[in-house]
Amino acid sequence: MSNNYIIRRAAESDAQQIISHTKKVLKENPDVMGITLGEFNPSLDEEKEWINSHNTQGLLLVAEVNRKIIGILSFHSSPLKRLSHQGIFGMSVQEEFTNSGIGTSLIRELLAWAKKEQRVEKITLEVFSNNERAIHLYKKLGFTEEGRFKKQVKLDANEYVDDIVMSKFINAPRAPVTSVMG
């Protein structure tokens, strides 16, 4: 584990490393991810397209140690006018680098970016109820539970977990100030 990491925007040239990172995380923590290792098979071109999709409707960050991607955070907002004020993010950090502040740094970078983006008012995430480490982190950073989908995820024949929706408001418009004269 290293405290010497950098966080930066992802580039098309990161595609192969992002694929490798995601496969490693899926192998390390299969019970907290929505996709299975066997289902994750993007081509290099598909991954580059996914990376580039963040340029107009979001933000894609990578965390690196010694030029190796060990964490990612993906945020997408909706292109629809009525939903464009909010977006959803997902994040992963390789097990070897957890509990070292990288997840916190990725989310803080997202929050700082969102504060500059006037259109982003709400950041949402979904997390499996069995992912206690992530839930703790999100609560620490001010995210609150909005609801949950009971037994939304089927991990095994008789094993289910809830999918928890959490959010945090950023740049929320203030209520108009009214004065009562009289």
pLDDT tens-digit map of 139-150: 999 999 999 999
How far apart (Å, rounded) are the C-alpha atoms in residues 170 and 89?
14
Note whether residue 94 is domain-resident.
yes
Note whether residue 26 is domain-resident.
yes
- For 82, the 3-state DSSP assignment is helix
Give every residue of the chain whose pLDDT is below 50, as ranges: 1, 182
Domains in the chain, number: 1
Note whether residue 92 is domain-resident.
yes
- For 118, the 3-state DSSP assignment is coil
Note whether residue 62 is domain-resident.
yes
Report the b/e string of 145-167 with b at 16+ CB within 10 A.
eeebeeeebeeeeeeebbbbbbb
Q: What per-residue confidence (pLDDT) applies to 1?
A: 47
Q: What per-residue confidence (pLDDT) applies to 171?
A: 73
Cα 151 from chain centre: 22
Note whether residue 17 is domain-resident.
yes
Q: What per-residue confidence (pLDDT) applies to 50?
A: 95
Note whether residue 28 is domain-resident.
yes
Query: Which residues, 6+ apart, have CB-to-CB distance to 77 below 8 Å?
Result: 57, 58, 83, 84, 85, 86, 87, 119, 120
Q: What per-residue confidence (pLDDT) applies to 174?
A: 58
Note whether residue 149 is domain-resident.
no
Give the closest residue to 62 by CA, choosing from 93, 20, 97: 93
Note whether residue 1 is domain-resident.
no
Q: What per-residue confidence (pLDDT) applies to 15?
A: 97
Domain that holds residue 85: 6-121
- pTM for the whole structure: 0.90
- pLDDT, tens digit, for every residue of 35-62? 999 999 999 999 999 999 998 889 999 9
| Residue 167 and residue 143 in contact, taking contact as beta carbons nearer than 8 Å | yes
Query: Which residues, 6+ apart, have CB-to-CB distance to 44 below 8 Å?
Result: 15, 16, 19
CATH number at residue 12: 3.40.630.30
